[in-house]
C-alpha cells in the first residue's frame, strides 16, 4: 500500500504532538511531512509543504489570550494563509481541521473555529478538494499545558505541585482522551471521506467536581503513599495516566520500601494496588541492560531487591535523560510514565534481581511495547 504523506500544522502543540508520535508508530501506513511554525511567514516554505502532502491536519491555533480579538485574528489568519498556499500551488490534499463543540457559541474563539472551518468548506467546493471538519469535545491527556489546554491539565499540575485546585464552574463536561482522539483521526485519514461537518463523539460526560475527586484520590494514594489506586473503567485509567504525567519524576524516585525486619529476616511489600495485572521477576548479570522501550497506556513498576542498578527514563520527544541509582541493600522502586522510553542496567558485580509489576498481562497481539533506545 502506498504510504499516506501527512503534514501537521501545530506539531508542537498538545494534540499535534500526540498525533505526530502516534502516526510515527505506523511507518508502514503514514509518512510524516515536516512542518515548522515559521512556514506560515514564508510563502516558499509553505508552498513546498502543501505541495508535498496527501493530507494536512490543521491544528495550529490559539486557545487562550487575555484579548479575545487576538485569538480570533490569529486563528482566522492561519486558515487564510494556508488556503492561499493551496491555491497558489493548485494543491488539493485532504484537509483536516480541528474545530470545537464551542463553535456555535457567540464568543470570538467559537466564531474563529466556525469561520475557519467554513473557509475550508468554501475552498473545497471551489477547488474540488476534500475536507474533514472535526468538531471535537474537551480533550485531556498526558503533557497538556496547565492553565491553557484544559481544566484537567491545570488540576493535575496543581495537585502534583502541592497546590489546591478550586472549581470555578461545576458544570458537566464532555471529555475525550487524547489517544482516543488521535486514533480516530488516524482512522479518518485512512477512510478518506469528505465530511465538512464531522462530530467526534465521546460518551464521557463528567462533572468538574467528579473529576477533581478522582484526581485527589490519585494524589493521596499514589503520590503520597505509593499505592496504585482502583481504576474502575477506561476513563479512570486514562485520567490516572494523565495525572501521572505531571509528576516531577526526578524529585520522587527512587522511592525506598519499608523494611520489616526481625530475627527471621526481612519482609517487604512491593506494591499495594486496587487493580490486577502481572507480576514477574528477572535476574540480570553484570553489565547487561534490559528494556529500551516505552508504553502508551501501561502502568509499570521496577523494584530492585538485590544488586545495583541504573534505571534511565527519557520522554520520547526529549533529549533529557533521568537517571536513578538503586541498591538492593536499600530496596526501592521506580514507576515508568507513559511515553517515556526506559531501561535498567546491572551496574554492580553481583547478580541483579528485579521484580516487575504491570497493570495488564502481556498480549502479543496488542503488546503496547515500542522499542527505542534511551
Measured CA to CA, the distance from residue 176 to residue 136 in angstroms comes to: 8
Residue burial 20-43, b: 16+ Cβ < 10 Å; e: rest: bbbbeeeeeebbbbebeeebbeee
Grid cell 520520547 in the structure block, residue: 316
Weakest-pLDDT range from 266-280, 296-310, 356-370: 266-280
pLDDT, residue 26, reads 96
pLDDT, residue 79, reads 97
Q: Per-residue pLDDT tens for 38-89?
A: 999 999 999 999 999 999 999 999 887 888 899 999 999 999 999 999 999 9
Based on its alpha-carbon atoms, the radius of gyration of the chain, rounded to whole angstroms, reads 23
Q: How far is CA 361 from CA 2, 75, 272, 277, 300, in A?
A: 35, 45, 17, 6, 11
pLDDT, residue 105, reads 79
Q: Per-residue pLDDT tens for 154-169?
A: 999 999 999 999 999 9
pLDDT class for 343, splitting at 50, 70, 90? very high
Alpha helix locations (H) across 28-140?
43-52, 68-89, 108-127
Q: How many helices (H) and strands (E) does the chain have?
A: 9, 21
Residue 267 has pLDDT above 90, yes or no: no
Collapsed DSSP state (helix, strand, coil) of residue 268: strand
| Residue 229 Cα to chain centre, angstroms | 21
**Domains defined along the chain, listed by start:** 4-143+174-204 (3.40.50.720), 253-371 (2.60.120.10)
Q: Would you put residue 355 in left (φ > 0), alpha (ψ -120 to 50) or beta?
A: beta
* Angle 365-369-372 from CA coordinates, rounded to 5°: 140
Measured CA to CA, the distance from residue 177 to residue 304 in angstroms comes to: 33
- Do residues 314 and 374 make contact, with C-beta atoms less than 8 angstroms apart? yes
Measured CA to CA, the distance from residue 281 to residue 303 in angstroms comes to: 9
Residue 1 has pLDDT above 80, yes or no: no
Burial of 285 (0-12, 13-18, 19+ CB in 10 A): exposed
The residues near 201 (Cβ < 8 Å, ≥ 6 apart) are none
If you average pLDDT over residues 13-29, what whole number do you get?
97
Closest CA to 81 of 41, 44, 52: 41
Upstream peptide bond of 254 is cis (omega within 30 degrees of 0): yes
Measured CA to CA, the distance from residue 71 to residue 60 in angstroms comes to: 12
The larger pLDDT score, comparing residue 122 to residue 67, is at: 122
Residue 106 has pLDDT above 80, yes or no: no
Measured CA to CA, the distance from residue 229 to residue 231 in angstroms comes to: 6
Q: Per-residue pLDDT tens for 228-247?
A: 999 999 999 999 999 999 99
The larger pLDDT score, comparing residue 258 to residue 50, is at: 50
Amino acid at each position: 500500500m502506498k504510504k499516506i504523506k501527512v503534514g501537521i500544522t501545530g506539531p508542537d502543540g498538545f494534540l499535534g504532538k500526540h498525533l505526530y508520535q502516534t502516526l510515527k508508530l505506523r511507518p508502514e501506513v503514514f509518512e510524516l511531512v515536516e512542518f515548522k511554525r515559521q512556514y506560515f511567514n514564508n510563502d516558499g516554505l509553505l508552498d513546498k509543504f502543501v505541495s508535498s502532502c496527501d493530507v494536512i491536519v490543521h491544528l495550529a491555533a490559539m486557545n487562550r489570550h487575555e484579548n479575545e480579538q487576538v485569538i480570533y485574528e490569529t486563528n482566522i489568519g492561519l486558515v487564510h494563509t494556508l488556503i492561499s498556499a493551496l491555491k497558489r500551488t493548485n494543491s488539493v490534499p485532504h484537509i483536516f481541521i480541528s474545530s470545537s463543540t464551542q463553535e456555535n457559541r457567540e464568543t470570538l474563539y467559537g466564531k474563529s473555529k466556525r469561520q475557519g472551518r467554513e473557509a475550508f468548506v468554501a475552498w473545497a467546493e471551489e477547488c474540488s478538494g476534500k475536507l474533514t471538519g472535526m468538531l471535537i469535545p474537551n480533550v485531556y491527556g498526558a503533557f497538556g499545558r496547565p492553565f491553557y489546554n484544559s481544566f484537567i491539565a491545570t488540576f493535575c499540575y496543581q495537585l502534583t505541585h502541592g497546590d489546591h485546585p478550586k472549581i470555578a464552574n461545576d458544570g458537566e463536561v464532555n471529555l475525550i482522551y487524547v489517544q482516543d482522539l488521535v486514533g480516530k483521526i488516524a482512522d479518518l485519514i485512512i477512510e478518506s471521506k469528505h465530511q465538512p461537518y464531522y462530530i467526534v463523539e465521546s460518551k464521557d460526560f463528567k462533572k468538574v467536581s467528579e473529576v477533581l475527586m478522582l484526581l485527589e484520590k490519585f494524589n493521596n494514594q499514589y503520590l503520597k503513599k505509593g499505592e496504585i489506586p482502583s481504576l474502575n473503567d477506561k476513563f479512570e485509567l486514562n485520567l490516572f495516566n494523565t495525572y501521572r504525567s505531571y509528576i516531577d519524576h526526578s524529585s520522587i524516585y527512587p522511592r525506598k520500601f519499608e523494611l520489616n525486619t526481625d530475627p527471621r529476616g526481612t519482609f517487604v511489600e512491593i506494591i499495594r494496588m486496587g487493580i490486577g495485572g502481572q507480576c514477574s521477576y528477572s535476574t540480570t548479570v553484570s553489565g547487561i541492560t534490559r528494556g529500551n522501550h516505552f508504553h502508551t497506556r501501561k502502568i509499570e513498576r521496577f523494584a530492585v531487591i538485590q544488586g545495583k542498578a541504573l534505571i534511565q527514563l527519557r520522554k520520547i520527544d526529549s533529549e533529557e535523560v533521568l537517571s536513578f541509582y538503586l541498591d538492593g541493600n536499600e530496596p526501592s522502586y521506580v514507576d515508568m510514565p507513559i511515553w517515556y522510553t526506559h531501561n535498567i542496567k546491572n551496574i554492580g558485580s553481583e547478580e541483579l534481581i528485579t521484580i516487575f509489576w504491570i497493570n495488564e498481562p502481556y498480549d502479543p497481539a496488542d503488546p503496547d511495547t515500542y522499542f527505542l533506545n534511551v
